[in-house]
Amino acid sequence: MVLVVKISSNKNCCPLLACSWVDKRTLFFLSTLHVGERTGDPTVKRKQADGGQVDVACPPCLPDYQKHMRGVDRGDQLDSYYNVGRKSKKWWRIIFFLLLGSVNTE
């Protein structure tokens, strides 16, 4: 199921596209890139129970999300494995442990 809402705005602000898509979970997108007219209905391939594949209609911003966000999702996954965060009352220690955790996952 695809729900696409184009949000109009004044001349000083960028137009915004709000999308909702249900696959296994509900995904919500806000995009300023995909506000224009569609150049075709984008689809993604999904497996069926019998092993075949079927094309499913999706919002125009989903293929770009899947193409460009894999690295960010992988980085978040690695951060969850090696948590070096510590509680501290000193602000510089919090920043130190935050930087140490980001260096650890690189």
Tens of pLDDT, residues 63-87: 888 777 766 677 777 777 766 667 7
Beta bridge partners of 81: none
Q: Is the whole-model pTM more than 0.95?
A: no
SS3 84: coil
Listed by start position, the domains of the chain span: 1-61, 78-106
> Averaging pLDDT over each range in 22-31, 49-58, 59-68, which range is the top one?
49-58
pLDDT at 26: 85
Q: Are 100 and 84 in contact (CB under 8 A)?
A: yes
